[in-house]
């Protein structure tokens, strides 16, 4: 069994607990939070700590640390775990700063441990089908892509904790909500060469943006349009990813981009397209993405390979978002190195 420890017992930790409990070959060994009240959870046999260093030093049997603390603390805790030869799974975004993300990749490699970033939307059934079509070139020459997140995060959401909506610990709609969608766009379309963007804080009393729009050019020459907002009234409206090429048009949408809305690909009959849509509608969520990430880390450790969503994968959307914010601030096109 591969033993996991979770640090940061906020909302997202529940998904990690469930994923570890359901993942083959995984065992929840310990949890950690600086707030002892958050440790008051019924987990028989699981050790509980308020100090990460103490937890790791006292328990050499911990193999993997799942970092679920506010984003601004990810780099610091990754370093602590890596220096103690523990593999790391870190929640999105892997970091709010480019230099921190690069340091996380560097320190885990230096200490010979694995780094995985939680981008679970890649494992949605509809997205998996789209990726297979992209990989075999079914769209021909790519025209453009569209990534849209139209969600609601009201003021009460941001007021839950002092760190929410801050530049130092949380980030705005791009880092916190749209990053999964942007990860999908990059995974499907490839790296971005340049971006022109605008962002604003329109409705929420936070330090960061609550709405943003950007146009990107991919290194393959295709274009992309990004729209992200937490200002939608009164609830989440949609998350979608759409790809357009000379021989294909596909749009995956719904409130959380789980359903196939358009599936027009050269060589695929209307009957086959409708069958594909029906298959996805029957099971739009599949195995939970966090469980995929946990099971992949178990395999990566046993097989001594890189995780499917490794540090470099987590770095890509962070780099894109920082370029979008730079462009929005300067009013200029930003070239991504």
Q: What is the pLDDT of residues 295-329, one digit of tens each?
A: 999 999 999 999 999 999 999 999 999 999 999 99
CA angle 95, 17, 282 (to 5 degrees): 95
Q: Give the chain's mean pLDDT.
A: 98
Q: What is the spatial distance between Cα 78 and Cα 89, in angstroms, rounded to a whole number?
A: 9
Q: What is the spatial distance between Cα 85 and Cα 64, in angstroms, rounded to a whole number?
A: 9
pLDDT of residue 170 exceeding 90, the answer is: yes
Strand-by-strand arrangement of the 26-32 sheet:
47-49, 26-32, 2-7, 64-67, 87-90, 115-117
214 and 195 in contact (C-beta within 8 Å)? Answer: yes
Per-residue confidence (pLDDT) for residue 22, from 0 to 100? 98
Q: Count Cβ atoms below 10 Å from residue 284 Cβ, excluding itself.
A: 17
* CATH superfamily of this structure's domain 2-120+289-309: NAD(P)-binding Rossmann-like Domain (3.40.50.720)
Per-residue confidence (pLDDT) for residue 108, from 0 to 100? 98
pLDDT of residue 248 exceeding 90, the answer is: yes
**In the predicted model, what is the mean pLDDT of residues 237-258?**
98
Per-residue confidence (pLDDT) for residue 202, from 0 to 100? 98
147 and 193 in contact (C-beta within 8 Å)? Answer: no
Domain 122-286+318-335 has CATH 3.30.360.10: yes
- Where helices occur in 159-310 by DSSP H, the ranges are 173, 179-189, 270-282, 289-303
pLDDT of residue 131 exceeding 90, the answer is: yes
Under DSSP, the state recorded for 121 is G
298 and 27 in contact (C-beta within 8 Å)? Answer: no
pLDDT band at residue 195 under the 50/70/90 scheme: very high
If phi > 0 it is left, if psi is from -120 to 50 it is alpha, else beta; for residue 192 that is: beta
Per-residue confidence (pLDDT) for residue 337, from 0 to 100? 87
pLDDT of residue 276 exceeding 90, the answer is: yes
Q: Cis omega before residue 234 (within 30°)?
A: yes
CATH 3.40.50.720 domain locations along the chain? 2-120+289-309
Per-residue confidence (pLDDT) for residue 33, from 0 to 100? 98
Per-residue confidence (pLDDT) for residue 281, from 0 to 100? 98
CATH 3.30.360.10 domain locations along the chain? 122-286+318-335
Q: What is the spatial distance between Cα 88 and Cα 65, in angstroms, rounded to a whole number?
A: 5
Q: What is the spatial distance between Cα 108 and Cα 100, in angstroms, rounded to a whole number?
A: 12
pLDDT band at residue 95 under the 50/70/90 scheme: very high
């Amino acid at each position: 069994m591969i033993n996991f420890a979770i640090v940061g017992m906020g909302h997202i930790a529940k998904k990690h607990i469930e994923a570890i409990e359901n993942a083959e070959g995984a065992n929840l060994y310990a949890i950690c939070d600086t707030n002892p009240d958050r440790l008051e959870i019924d987990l028989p046999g699981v050790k509980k700590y308020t100090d990460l260093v103490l937890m790791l030093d006292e328990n050499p049997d911990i193999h993997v640390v799942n970092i679920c603390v506010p984003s601004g603390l990810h780099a610091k805790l990754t370093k602590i775990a890596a220096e103690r030869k523990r593999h790391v799974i870190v929640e999105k975004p892997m970091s709010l700063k480019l230099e921190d993300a690069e340091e996380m990749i560097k320190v885990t490699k230096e200490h010979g441990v694995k780094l995985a970033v939680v981008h679970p939307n890649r494992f949605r059934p509809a997205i998996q089908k789209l990726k297979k079509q992209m990989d075999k070139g079914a769209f021909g020459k790519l025209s453009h892509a569209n990534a849209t997140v139209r969600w609601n995060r009201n003021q009460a959401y941001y007021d839950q904790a002092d760190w929410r909506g801050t530049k130092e610990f949380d980030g705005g709609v791009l880092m916190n909500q749209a990053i999964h969608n942007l990860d999908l766009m990059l995974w499907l379309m490839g790296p971005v060469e340049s971006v022109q963007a605008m962002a604003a804080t329109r409705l929420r009393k936070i330090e960061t943006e609550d709405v943003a729009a950007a146009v990107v050019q991919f290194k393959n020459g295709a274009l992309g349009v990004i729209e992200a907002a937490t200002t939608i009234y009164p609830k989440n409206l949609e998350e979608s990813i759409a790809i357009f090429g000379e021989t294909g048009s596909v749009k995956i949408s719904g409130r959380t981009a789980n359903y196939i809305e358009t599936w027009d690909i050269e060589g695929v009959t209307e009957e086959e397209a409708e069958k594909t849509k029906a298959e996805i509608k029957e099971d739009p969520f599949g195995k939970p993405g966090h469980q995929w990430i946990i099971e992949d880390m178990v395999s990566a450790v046993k097989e001594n390979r890189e995780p499917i969503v490794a540090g470099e994968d987590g770095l890509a959307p962070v780099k894109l978002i920082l370029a979008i914010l730079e462009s929005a601030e300067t009013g200029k096109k930003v070239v991504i190195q």
